[in-house]
Structure 1
Amino acid sequence: MRPPTDRPSIIVIGAGFGGIGTAVALRRAGYRDVTVLERGSSVGGVWRDNTYPGAACDVPSSLYSFSFAPHPGWPRRYSRQPEIRDYIERAARDHGVLDQVRLGVEVASAAYDEEASRWHLTTTAGEQVSCDVLVSAVGQLSRPSVPELPGSERFEGPAFHSAHWPEDLDLAGRRVAVLGTGASAIQFVPAIAPEAAHVTVFQRSAPYVVPKPDRAYTRVHRAAFRRVPALQAAARAAVMWVTERYNESLVDGTRLKRLVHLAWRAQLRLQVRDAELRRRLRPDHPLGCKRVLFSNDWYPALAREDVSLVTEPVVEVLPHGVRDAAGVEHAADVVVYGTGFAATEFLAPMQVTGVGGADLHERWRQGAHAYLGLCVPDFPNLFVVYGPNTNLGGSSIVNMIEAAADGVVTLLDRMRAGGASSVRVRPEVAAAFDAEVQDRLQRSVWASCSSWYREPTGRITTNWPGLVAEYQDRCARLDPAHFQLV
């Protein structure tokens, strides 16, 4: 038995919001032997990778930031990619964890040694690393999803996922084919349309796009936030209240949801005069079933004469364009895949092995599940931040990340206080939690259509069925009887 004062060695995988937030929570709780492994060349996670034109957040920065690191210098209400990436690095530096990050290290596998109560990791470079506690903070939106289309290898121009946007790409005078109309596409299409010769957008399913109440902050705003921190805290609380009401509406249906629907309808009618184009931009699913998007310039971009909307699926990539299911060939010099991420493939492509050779990906073959998205039976001392069923239809995921990180600290404190070498969730507790979550999710709007929230089987593996406040409360009140100390 290790003494209660012994500090375990901890490895956190990923240096985005989840990894940095967890590292700070551990440091504030007195854990110093913490290493953050990051496969990229800097911290920032998705906000380092997604540098496409127009990249920005659709949650106000007062809420899309750490509660322990308010930033009065945000230039806008909805901040853009470079500002968010810089914020994450600044928060890591200011809270003493930036030096704990090892860059350019990707974990290939992790195996639990039950006799030693330690995790043994192997990197893609073949390095062997061990720790007492392993935290995965790789997130749900870190692995781009690119469809396997016939002929894609024959395309003679640049072809890439939006998360891998070439730094020196010049689109002036070039024809661009964009596959997908998700959260990334509605940002970069309006940004590139004035530059490109022509943009052809291929839409599989029309999204709901509502106005984005964005604005630049003035020097007066920023000075007020610096001098009176309570003003920014009040703004955060107000945004939190509104987004919680929206989260509530996705399950129960409320007046707010009807107002959002009216806002979408009004924007579409005002910004798209062509009746036929409006018809093709009407979603075929209930509002909220898929991610609701925020933009003031998506519909105007599609209404441009040099932008075309195609609703036929792409079936083949040609050397100089793409072919749709109707047989029409669309000329293109550049192909951009705005096709989202492999959100339901948690922790992939890492190979994770627990007690008795338990294979995590085999355990999750029918859909990922974890107690509070945090713990999996037979995988002691493994915690997942932003894990299964912790995504949100609205509000800020940063609040969920902070709650999960606090839960990790609570369990490690109990492990140390009990003189234990490991902590694991009881299988029957995890099973009961999963049954509860899936029952609630099947009564939500997300069960009414196919989306990246769901597995092909219909199981919803990404989203949380309640309010952020409920998740925060459950992570703050972890029942000791639900866990086994060894």
Structure 2
Amino acid sequence: MVADTEHAGTGKSEKRIHRTRVLVVGSGFSGLGMAIQLRKAGRSDFVVLEKADEVGGTWRENTYPGCACDVPSHMYSFSFEPNPDWSKVWSGQAEILDYLFDLADKYDLRRYIHFGRRTTGGYWDEAEKRWHVRTDDGTEYVTQFLVSGIGALHVPRFPDLPGLDVFGGVAFHSAQWNHDYDLTGKRVAVIGTGASAVQFVPEIVDRVARLQLFQRTPAWVVPRTNFEHSPRAKRLFRRVPLVRRAFRDFVYWVSEALAIGLNGHSNLMAPLEKLAKKNIAKSIEDPELQRKLTPDYRIGCKRILGSNDYYPALARPNVEVVTDRIERVTEGGVVTADGTERDVDAIIYGTGFHVTDGFDGMNIVGVNGRELVPYWNEHGIETHLGITIEGFPNAFFLLGPNTALGHNSVVFMIEQQIRYVMEAIRLVDDAGAEAISVRRSAQDRSNADIQRKLGKGVWTNGGCVSWYLDAKGVNRTIWPGFTWQYWLRTRKVDPADFDLIGRAAG
């Protein structure tokens, strides 16, 4: 690996400096995919920073009961590294994590990863034309190219409720599941009804004595049977790659069709709403509970969820769905706005993640001392194609703003972004330059086009408030339209959109 470590200063003030050509932050799908393509290009002059002691990102962090992906596994994997042995259509967390472990082993990536190092900030040295990135162990990384692969679903969001600090029981977030705590026979409060809760509630409902589900807004949940791939099917996928590819393509295009309804043709979503309502009626007899669980917004405005056992779990006699606003938490329970206090032994937060503010860990300083996070907080998150940012040369974001999806696999998006970054690096090398920086005009066009299209979509007009929106109500998360359109936009780096910066002095 072409990288060196040097020391500055002496004694307690000694600072470790590590130089490398490409610095990748994160080792989930994005970081590992970037590292694989660097290896395939014959490069060994890169380092991957990982805050934990193992690879995996989201799929390492989330280990709650029932954790699984809601995108079919043959699509939720790299096209260049297919897995013929997925056990089910929608695989669970452990199987996805094993897939990532296998990738790290196959490409011998762990020797490029510096584990246990969390980024604390960094800055662009205009004279040197290099990024300086600091980590919490005191190391400073000096790199030509900086690639953020941190994603968005890694910083748990906790509700802002009075009394959280005085609760005398056990409390934890679904993304930080306490496996040492036995829920058997306990009175459990679950706060939140998003994707995680839909998966773990059915898994714990039979063990707990009482489960109170505190719901602010119901989700649309369509029925979904998770079929197993038979041994015969897996053999066919393994021996006949064309069949495996055809199955992946089928999944892709079926998923892609959903984008029509999400982007300006919400009337086409009515049949899906009808299916979801039938899912409620089939599972729940109580009219009042049906009313509580039926959303009043257009399906797709929030992420569409799939489950055959969520509604039956809520119909159990030991479950109460509470829709009154939580007023405060006490030492022994949860108090709602009507004054009712419900005694609980444990609180599980299924309240999601910091998404639009999930990039705070990458608070880098670009040209002319511009701090990324404060600038975004003031002006809104704006990028060029979710990958590059004006004033931050040689900095790239994988799964950056407005590249998440509500209908297909983000792994597809990651692949396009990695190819784009690799081509940008080649452009710099071929030109004998030191850096590449997106022009403000290109970024403005890109962002204006995205926001114009989002204005027609269900996320804006569907009648809900979702985690897709920032504090000002602007959608900084979703890519509007089809993913093949993103492929078209990113398959080539347009030199007219960028400035190439010459060699550093000396």
Same fold (TM over 0.5): yes
The alpha-carbon deviation at position 97 of structure 1 amounts to: 2.4
Q: 1:70 to 1:256 in 2, by over 3 A?
A: farther
Query: Of the candidates 466, 470, 478, which is equivalent to residue 463 of structure 1?
Result: 478
Counterpart-to-counterpart distance in 1, 2:326 and 2:474 = 27
Q: Counterpart amino acid of 2:174?
A: S
SS in 1 for 2:66: coil
The alpha-carbon deviation at position 126 of structure 1 amounts to: 1.7
2:69 paired with 1:57: yes
Deviations 1:29-64 (A, max 9, x none): 233211110101211101000000000011100000
Q: Would you say the 8 A contact 1:346–1:368 is kept in 2?
A: no
Aligned to 1:10: 22
Aligned to 1:114: 126
Q: Would you say the 8 A contact 1:245–1:256 is kept in 2?
A: no
Counterpart-to-counterpart distance in 1, 2:244 and 2:284 = 36
Q: Would you say the 8 A contact 2:266–2:458 is kept in 1?
A: no
Aligned to 1:29: 41
Counterpart-to-counterpart distance in 1, 2:359 and 2:208 = 37
Counterpart-to-counterpart distance in 2, 1:364 and 1:436 = 18
2:385 paired with 1:372: yes
Deviations 1:344-394 (A, max 9, x none): 014213321001101101221142121010000010000000000000011
Q: Would you say the 8 A contact 1:187–1:298 is kept in 2?
A: yes
Aligned to 1:131: 143
The alpha-carbon deviation at position 8 of structure 1 amounts to: 7.0
Deviations 1:432-477 (A, max 9, x none): 1111111111111101321100113221100101111111111102
Aligned to 1:451: 466
User: After alignment, is 148-157 or 176-185 more displaced?
Assistant: 148-157
SS in 2 for 1:473: helix
The alpha-carbon deviation at position 167 of structure 1 amounts to: 2.4
Query: Of the candidates 420, 424, 437, which is equivalent to residue 437 of structure 2?
Result: 424
Q: Would you say the 8 A contact 1:225–1:231 is kept in 2?
A: yes
2:242 paired with 1:242: no
Q: Counterpart amino acid of 2:396?
A: F
Q: Would you say the 8 A contact 1:136–1:347 is kept in 2?
A: no
Q: Work out the percentage of aligned pairs sharing the same amino acid.
A: 41
SS in 1 for 2:213: strand
Q: Counterpart amino acid of 2:97?
A: R
User: After alignment, is 249-258 or 325-334 more displaced?
Assistant: 249-258
Q: Counterpart amino acid of 1:434?
A: N
Aligned length: 480
2:309 paired with 1:297: yes
SS in 2 for 1:24: helix
The alpha-carbon deviation at position 151 of structure 1 amounts to: 1.0
Q: Normalising by the residue count of structure 1, what TM-score does the alignment of the two structures yield?
A: 0.97
Q: Normalising by the residue count of structure 2, what TM-score does the alignment of the two structures yield?
A: 0.93
Q: 1:346 to 1:420 in 2, by over 3 A?
A: farther
Q: 1:250 to 1:285 in 2, by over 3 A?
A: same
Aligned to 2:500: 485
The alpha-carbon deviation at position 110 of structure 1 amounts to: 1.3
Q: Would you say the 8 A contact 1:268–1:278 is kept in 2?
A: yes
2:206 paired with 1:194: yes
Counterpart-to-counterpart distance in 2, 1:32 and 1:41 = 21
Q: Counterpart amino acid of 1:392?
A: L
Which fold has the larger relative contact order, with Cα–Cα distance below 8 Å and residues 6 or more apart in sequence?
A: 1
The alpha-carbon deviation at position 210 of structure 1 amounts to: 0.3
Counterpart-to-counterpart distance in 2, 1:342 and 1:74 = 30
> What RMSD, in angstroms, separates the aligned Cα atoms of the two structures?
1.4
Aligned to 2:3: none
Q: Counterpart amino acid of 1:92?
A: A
In structure 1, list runs of 5 or more residues that go unmatched.
Answer: 1-6
The alpha-carbon deviation at position 164 of structure 1 amounts to: 0.3
Counterpart-to-counterpart distance in 2, 1:36 and 1:248 = 38
Q: Counterpart amino acid of 2:496?
A: A
Q: How does 1:80-119 map to 2 (within 5 A)?
A: 80-119=92-131
